Structure 1
Amino acid sequence: MTKMITPDTVAVPASNRRPQLRLARFRDLALVPAIIVLIVIGALISPDFLTVDNLTNVLQQQSALALLVLAEAMILITGKFDLSLESTIGFAPVLAIALVEPASAHGLGTQWPEWMAIPLCLLIGAAIGAFNGLLILKFQLSAFIVTLGMLITVRGLHVGVSGGSSLFQLPQSFMYLGFEKWFGLAASVWIALIAFVIGIVVLSYFRQGRSLYAIGGNVDAAKAAGIRTDAVVWTVLIIGGILAALAGILETGRLGAIGANMGEGMIFTVFAAAVIGGISLNGGKGTLFGALCGVLMLGLIQNLLTIMRVDGHWFGAINGVIILIALVLSRVTSGKAQE
């Protein structure tokens, strides 16, 4: 019997594939020269830009965002979304603080031991990720709609628990991670860096990590290969919630307080960093190193804009333009637009 040839089964000559593959590989490292250019521009604009204090300040300011981007990048690689990370970063520390602080400090009156604050915060983040996984995987609901609903719900819980007020009385453990320095660099920077190194190693060299790409690329093929796809995605969603809660701890400690609007609007910056770092919204493509470069690039751009005294109200529009440019570059380098 003659096999029917369709456009999908026609082999593409290797000579036609090589340029596209080379461009796709280049895209993962494309931000490195861009970051170098930004550093050169910053040095020319202001003598203060290349000072140790300024650069370490940029890194510390981006540490919480970096953890959110790490979480979202892993989730996107599996082909899913999690918009609720934006509200988890605020709600997890607020509820943990409310459980350990007295009622006079906007606590819930439970006054659990202060050493429980960080474990509670991480557990709350894990619970939010687990609940998202339940609705997405067991009830087969849209990840976008589920996490959007969760974002709204958790944001409302945040305001309800805090009473719409900022919390200034923080556990000592939060303050330690926000202000302490390890080997001359903020602890939060080391934590974010270590988390990225672990993520890069796992996704590059371990079967469990490589399975994220298999699921995002073709979930049916991944199932056929024996990968427990639901368990992997559920685990990634839980890890994402934990990373968001950890980001909340670092940001709360850095600011010395937590407001009712903490994390609001961050998800747009998270997606901006992930997309310009080469993470595909279709799943199965991108590297965590590229995502990290996206975080650094956005941090340098924001720092440059601050030095140039650009009104902060324009930052959102600039991030939006960066996303659109990244989508165009994705089309050019891979021959396929991100959706």
Structure 2
Amino acid sequence: MSETTEMAPPVAPSAPPDRGGRIALAKLRDLALIPAIVVICVLGQLVNPVFLRYDNLINVLQTMSEIALLVLAQTIVLVVGKMDLSLESTFGLAPGIAAYLTITGQGLGLLPGGWAIPVTLAVGVVIGVINAMLIVRFGLNGFIVTLGMLIVLRGLLTGISGGQTFFDLPPSMMYLGSTTWFGVPASIWLCLLLFAAGVVVLGFTSVGRSLYAIGGNIDAAKAAGIRTDRVLVGALVTASLLAALGGLLLSGRLASVAAAQGNGAIFTVFAAAVIGGVSLNGGRGTVFGAFTGILLLYLIQNVLTLAGVPAQWIGALNGAIILVALVLSRITSGRKQD
């Protein structure tokens, strides 16, 4: 007698949890600072009628654009789960080396002025490669590595400049920071274009998904077939390149490279990233959020300046904003910021 074995139907794999709500929440967080920006604009106009004038707003955006590139750079690194403290030194050293090699008198004058931009960007790439080799290849702690690089690079700029400011920069080096395109400073256009590119890359491409996956769980990313080392190297090198470009914009606007260029900028950068919703733990945050963060900070600084508040208090405010943003992030997300 034959027995008929009745096979149970295969159990369908459980559907992944609906992420629609999470995506909608992320989009809402991107817009969270918009009301605050509107409020600051209203208060600024009440404090001083000059605030909303075209010239003042253009001045805010232009001075913001240089540090904003550092914010964009740090956002990329934070999303991937790392931290780069050396960006502020790259911001000064990259254009400093370009000035040292292209001007006579204070510098060596070894290269024609047209080489200033390529040299600046190349220095940024080299610094990024060194950071990536130490962090990714040798597995060293990223915080300690970039802290050490911050000190080394700052010392190099002080050494080659003799502690003085480089003047008489070649015209090519001043072009991006001083020229206007369609009546708006070129630095603003570059900043907006690069942030737009960042929004597209991180939000709508496989590269962006890889960055978030690595920042969320690097072991899971490896298991999914993501080439984590390559992505990490690309993120660190891109960040240093953006920092070098930001330093070039500032040098072009001021027509000089100070020995202290970039000193302390990293605090503003972290303040902007944190209040813009970028997680210090990696895997969370958006480029648009980071942009609204740095915009809000510079609008606040401008209002305080127009109100006659001493600059020292503005620095204290940035620190307070970081603490408040961390508390709000903890309350709204339920996750700790380690």
- Please give the alpha-carbon distance, in whole angstroms, between the structure 1 residues aligned to 2:87 and 2:22: 34
Match of 1:81 in 2: 83
- Please give the alpha-carbon distance, in whole angstroms, between the structure 1 residues aligned to 2:177 and 2:206: 34
> What SS class does the counterpart of residue 147 from structure 2 fall into?
helix
Instruction: State the one-letter code of the partner of 2:188.
Output: V
Instruction: State the one-letter code of the partner of 1:51.
Output: R
- Please give the alpha-carbon distance, in whole angstroms, between the structure 2 residues aligned to 1:203 and 1:213: 8
Deviations 1:124-183 (A, max 9, x none): 011001100000011110000000000000000000011100011111012211111111
Aligned-pair CA distance for 1:315: 1.4
Aligned-pair CA distance for 1:338: 1.6
- Please give the alpha-carbon distance, in whole angstroms, between the structure 2 residues aligned to 1:62 and 1:29: 20
- Please give the alpha-carbon distance, in whole angstroms, between the structure 2 residues aligned to 1:312 and 1:78: 34
Aligned-pair CA distance for 1:25: 4.2
Instruction: State the one-letter code of the partner of 2:66.
Output: A
Aligned to 1:67, which of 66, 69, 78? 69
Given that 1:21 and 1:334 are in contact with CA atoms closer than 8 Å, whether structure 2 keeps it comes out as: no
> What SS class does the counterpart of residue 221 from structure 1 fall into?
helix
TM-score normalised according to structure 2 size: 0.92
Instruction: State the one-letter code of the partner of 1:179.
Output: S
Aligned-pair CA distance for 1:225: 1.0
Match of 1:34 in 2: 36
Gaps of 5+ in 1: 1-12
- Please give the alpha-carbon distance, in whole angstroms, between the structure 2 residues aligned to 1:322 and 1:94: 32
Match of 1:8 in 2: none
- Please give the alpha-carbon distance, in whole angstroms, between the structure 2 residues aligned to 1:163 and 1:67: 27
Match of 1:46 in 2: 48
Instruction: State the one-letter code of the partner of 1:244.
Output: A
Aligned-pair CA distance for 1:33: 0.8
TM-score normalised according to structure 1 size: 0.92
Aligned-pair CA distance for 1:19: 8.3
Instruction: State the one-letter code of the partner of 1:92.
Output: A
Matches within 5 A, 1:163-242: 163-242=162-241
Aligned-pair CA distance for 1:337: 2.4
Match of 1:283 in 2: 282
Match of 2:119 in 1: 120
- Please give the alpha-carbon distance, in whole angstroms, between the structure 1 residues aligned to 2:208 and 2:170: 35
Given that 1:72 and 1:270 are in contact with CA atoms closer than 8 Å, whether structure 2 keeps it comes out as: yes
- Please give the alpha-carbon distance, in whole angstroms, between the structure 2 residues aligned to 1:19 and 1:210: 18
- Please give the alpha-carbon distance, in whole angstroms, between the structure 1 residues aligned to 2:167 and 2:241: 23
Match of 2:11 in 1: none
Given that 1:75 and 1:237 are in contact with CA atoms closer than 8 Å, whether structure 2 keeps it comes out as: yes
- Please give the alpha-carbon distance, in whole angstroms, between the structure 1 residues aligned to 2:84 and 2:22: 30
Aligned-pair CA distance for 1:193: 0.7
- Please give the alpha-carbon distance, in whole angstroms, between the structure 2 residues aligned to 1:23 and 1:328: 18
- Say which one has the larger Rg: 2
Instruction: State the one-letter code of the partner of 2:103.
Output: E
- Please give the alpha-carbon distance, in whole angstroms, between the structure 1 residues aligned to 2:328 and 2:201: 28
> What SS class does the counterpart of residue 213 from structure 1 fall into?
helix
Given that 1:83 and 1:144 are in contact with CA atoms closer than 8 Å, whether structure 2 keeps it comes out as: yes
| Residue 251 in structure 1 maps to residue 253 in structure 2 | no
- Please give the alpha-carbon distance, in whole angstroms, between the structure 1 residues aligned to 2:307 and 2:85: 32
Aligned-pair CA distance for 1:210: 1.4
CA RMSD of aligned residues (A): 1.8
Aligned-pair CA distance for 1:319: 0.1
- Please give the alpha-carbon distance, in whole angstroms, between the structure 2 residues aligned to 1:53 and 1:75: 34
Aligned-pair CA distance for 1:20: 7.8
Aligned-pair CA distance for 1:303: 0.1
Given that 2:113 and 2:173 are in contact with CA atoms closer than 8 Å, whether structure 1 keeps it comes out as: no
- Please give the alpha-carbon distance, in whole angstroms, between the structure 1 residues aligned to 2:112 and 2:21: 59
Aligned-pair CA distance for 1:100: 1.1
Match of 1:144 in 2: 143
Match of 1:98 in 2: 100
Deviations 1:201-252 (A, max 9, x none): 0111110121100000010111111111011010111011110000010001
- Please give the alpha-carbon distance, in whole angstroms, between the structure 2 residues aligned to 1:121 and 1:22: 40
> What SS class does the counterpart of residue 337 from structure 1 fall into?
coil
Instruction: State the one-letter code of the partner of 1:91.
Output: L
Match of 1:3 in 2: none
- Please give the alpha-carbon distance, in whole angstroms, between the structure 2 residues aligned to 1:301 and 1:110: 41
CA 1:19–1:329: 2 relative to 1, 3 Å? farther
Match of 2:10 in 1: none
- Please give the alpha-carbon distance, in whole angstroms, between the structure 2 residues aligned to 1:71 and 1:190: 17
| Residue 266 in structure 1 maps to residue 265 in structure 2 | yes
- Please give the alpha-carbon distance, in whole angstroms, between the structure 2 residues aligned to 1:271 and 1:55: 23
Instruction: State the one-letter code of the partner of 1:133.
Output: A
Deviations 1:11-49 (A, max 9, x none): xx98xx998876554322110111011111111111111
- Please give the alpha-carbon distance, in whole angstroms, between the structure 1 residues aligned to 2:289 and 2:58: 20
Match of 2:319 in 1: 320
Deviations 1:253-274 (A, max 9, x none): 1112111111000000000000
Instruction: State the one-letter code of the partner of 1:134.
Output: M
